Amino acid sequence: MNDIAHNLAQVRDKISAAATRCGRASEEITLLAVSKTKPASAIAEAIAAGHRAFGENYVQEGVDKIRAFREQGNTDLQWHFIGPLQSNKSRLVAEHFDWCHTIDRLRIATRLSDQRPAEMPALNVLIQINISDENSKSGITLSELDALAAEVAALPRLTLRGLMAIPAPESSYERQFAVAQQMAVAFEALKARYDTVDTLSLGMSDDMEAAIAAGSTMVRIGTAIFGARDYTQ
Ligand SMILES: *Cc1c(COP(=O)(O)O)cnc(C)c1O
């Protein structure tokens, strides 16, 4: 087994253990392998190990990878855009990705809906909530959620699937769980109103257990699968 296959198996085991501890089925939790900055060869190893869902943060880098794998005949991969999105890049996301996790204003959502090609299925979107990180400019507050959700749900070429958050780092499990639970409450309320809503994208390497215990359905893991990122190149 190569390193990436081995790491993937370990992360999957951790997810199963966390799910079992809180009485959930591990199938309820999707592992998103965050492949930003990593070469196509690393993604190919994860694909060979049976993985299909990948998260990318940078539009052009993600599009290049999506195109390359599609040209090689890999048509069953799922590509998630998880980075901050500027208006002038929305068309590339609309034309290539399957999901966008970082909807935080109507203007971006409208552009994505307008730009989604007719021959593709609707783009799956998550609304990003700024749940605890006062320094981050990304995401809306929970008080703004109902209004934005209603507008996004009405856009014809988007499917509102749920919520995403990147909580500020917390070292204690109790603090992580408290924040994750606020997200879970908002998610359950949204789910009760929209039957397309089924996804809470929450939990990274350091807070995965607390996120799963609170009700996350998708964890985003990069370093533990692909190793440390090199930003010097
Ligand atoms: C980079 C990133 C991750 C993965 O982070 P790791 O620390 O490498 O596991 C998850 N979510 C988002 C939004 C990211 O940008």
Residue 233 pLDDT greater than 70, yes or no: no
Give the span between the Cα atoms of 200 and 75, in whole angstroms.
25
Which of 18-32, 91-105, 134-148, 195-209 comes out lowest in average pLDDT? Answer: 134-148
From the CA of 205, give the closest atom in ligand 1. 9
- Nearest CA to 103 out of 168, 147, 63 is that of 147
Residues 90-141 have pLDDT tens digits of: 999 999 999 999 999 999 999 999 999 999 999 999 999 999 977 888 999 9
Displacement of CA 53 from its chain's centroid (Å): 10
Q: Which of 81, 166, 204 to mutate to test the pocket of ligand 1 (most atoms within 8 A of CB)?
A: 204
Q: How far is CA 56 from CA 19, 30, 34, 53, in A?
A: 25, 16, 6, 10
Q: Give the position, in ligand 1's atom list, of the atom nearest the Cα of 220.
A: 10
Name the pTM for this structure: 0.97
Q: 62: Cβ below 6 Å to ligand 1? A: no
